[in-house]
């Protein structure tokens, strides 16, 4: 009979009042649930908790450090949603206008009436592609956008949400590019990451690759519930996600739905702005009304792709109804495949982010994140 595994050295910031969170973090390593991980929380402008430990490689030879970048998969969607929200806040875009008003080709196949907010809240009916294609096609931005523009919706747009795991990034990213002229990856660096000193990337330059963590895939498949055509094209075809080009090309690509690289600190500090009226460290990221508009519910109900009841804002997952980001009904954020998450709690002025490189099979609501978040709120 084997006992707990050795717990690697835990580094970071942990005042005495957050000792129970550190205990949970250590227990996850002792139970063999982690390879490398980091959990960061803020109150107001201040980082009040920041823990990291473990390894950034599968051989467990390279320590997980303060500058280790972790692929956060769909947690990237929270960043993409914020970038679009900034255009709305600046008066350059309206959530209620049609996608075709900025992207005329999108009006094909009966999609002329789909609004920006419907596209961002997974109501457009474009969760993936039914026709076979080379998975490497995902690396061709214009080709994917052309396929989305030509595609007929899989359900009546606006009638229900159906999670768009990868296509969301191309929809949001092309809307952004048509209005702003830049890619989301470039705008993130120029407008937010560099001015605020945040280690956040959509499209990771080669020079940063040595800092990037490897990840260990789950040994079991997620539970998708009752299978349907939308779930199949979203997740279960051999071409449902980018592939065929290798890890370096995947890191280098800009896929604003799925391949962001970040530190937990960078994510938590970005979300701190959204938890505190749109400003952090003296810099305004959104107006208070812009934060409310981003988080306002666009649709709720049983999702057609994920086996969950979900409330969606304009590209963010609302906490109400699922309660995966603590007790706040106004809290919102996003989770990523394998366990990562980031959220903002405007009622308490709190934000947090969890990143890891040993993935679980949970689609959302990873047990490790839930444990850490529950412990955090018990200490506040």
Q: How far is it, in rounded angstroms, from Cα 291 to Cα 296?
A: 9
Q: Are strands 11-13 and 36-43 parallel, antiparallel or unpaired?
A: unpaired
User: Edge-to-edge, what's the strand order for the sheet holding 317-318?
Assistant: 11-13, 46-54, 36-43, 350-356, 341-345, 332-335, 317-318, 309-312, 299-302
| Cβ atoms within 10 Å, residue 219 | 8
Residue 351 annotated as catalytic: no
Q: Are 344 and 351 in contact (CB under 8 A)?
A: yes
Q: What is the DSSP string of 286-305?
A: S-HHHHHHHHS--EEEE-SS
Q: How far is it, in rounded angstroms, from Cα 30 to Cα 174?
A: 44
Question: Which tokens is 33 given?
Answer: 């649930």
Q: Are 54 and 32 in contact (CB under 8 A)?
A: no
Beta-bridged to residue 134, according to DSSP, are none
Determine which one of 11, 74, 161, 311 is catalytic: 74
The conformational region for residue 345 under phi > 0 = left, psi -120 to 50 = alpha, else beta, is beta
Q: Are 58 and 293 in contact (CB under 8 A)?
A: no
**In terms of DSSP H, where are the helices of the chain?**
19-30, 76-89, 116-120, 141-150, 167-180, 184-187, 194-196, 229-231, 247-252, 264-275, 288-295, 367-379
Place of tokens 């051989």: 59
| Cβ atoms within 10 Å, residue 112 | 13
Question: Which tokens is 229 given?
Answer: 């055509």
Q: Which residues contact 219 (CB under 8 A, 6 or more apart)?
A: 361
Q: Which residues contact 280 (CB under 8 A, 6 or more apart)?
A: 45, 196, 269, 270, 272, 273
List active site positions: 74
């Amino acid at each position: 009979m084997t006992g707990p595994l050795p717990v690697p050295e835990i580094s970071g910031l942990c005042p005495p009042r957050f000792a129970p969170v550190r205990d949970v973090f250590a227990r996850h390593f002792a139970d063999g649930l982690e390879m490398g991980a980091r959990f960061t929380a803020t109150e107001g402008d201040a980082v009040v908790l920041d823990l990291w430990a473990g390894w950034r490689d599968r051989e467990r030879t390279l320590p997980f450090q303060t500058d280790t970048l972790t692929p956060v998969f769909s947690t990237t969607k929270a960043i993409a949603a914020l970038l679009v929200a900034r255009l709305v806040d600046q008066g350059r875009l309206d959530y209620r206008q049609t996608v075709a008003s900025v992207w005329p080709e999108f009006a094909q196949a009966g999609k002329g009436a789909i609004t920006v907010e419907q596209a961002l809240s997974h109501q457009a009916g474009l969760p993936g592609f039914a026709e076979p294609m080379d998975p490497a096609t995902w690396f061709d931005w214009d080709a994917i956008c052309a396929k989305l523009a030509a595609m007929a919706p899989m359900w009546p747009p606006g009638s229900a949400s159906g999670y768009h795991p990868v296509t969301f990034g191309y929809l949001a990213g092309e809307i952004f590019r048509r209005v702003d002229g830049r890619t989301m990856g470039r705008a993130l660096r120029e407008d937010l990451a560099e001015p605020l000193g945040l280690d956040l990337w959509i499209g990771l330059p080669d020079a940063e690759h040595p800092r990037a963590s490897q990840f260990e895939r789950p040994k079991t498949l997620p539970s998708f519930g009752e299978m349907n055509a939308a779930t199949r094209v979203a997740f279960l075809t051999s071409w449902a996600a980018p592939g065929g080009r290798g890890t370096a090309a995947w890191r280098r690509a800009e896929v604003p739905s799925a391949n962001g690289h970040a530190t937990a600190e960078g994510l938590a500090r970005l979300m701190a702005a959204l938890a505190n009226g749109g400003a952090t460290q003296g810099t305004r990221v959104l107006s208070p009304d812009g934060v409310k508009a981003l988080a306002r519910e666009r649709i709720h109900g049983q999702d057609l792709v994920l086996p969950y009841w979900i409330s969606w804002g304009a590209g963010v997952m609302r906490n109400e109804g699922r309660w995966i980001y603590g007790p706040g009904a106004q809290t919102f954020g996003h989770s990523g495949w394998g366990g990562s998450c980031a959220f903002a709690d405007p009622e308490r002025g709190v934000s947090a982010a969890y990143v890891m490189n040993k993935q679980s099979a949970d689609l959302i609501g990873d047990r490790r994140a839930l444990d850490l978040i529950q412990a955090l709120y018990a200490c506040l």
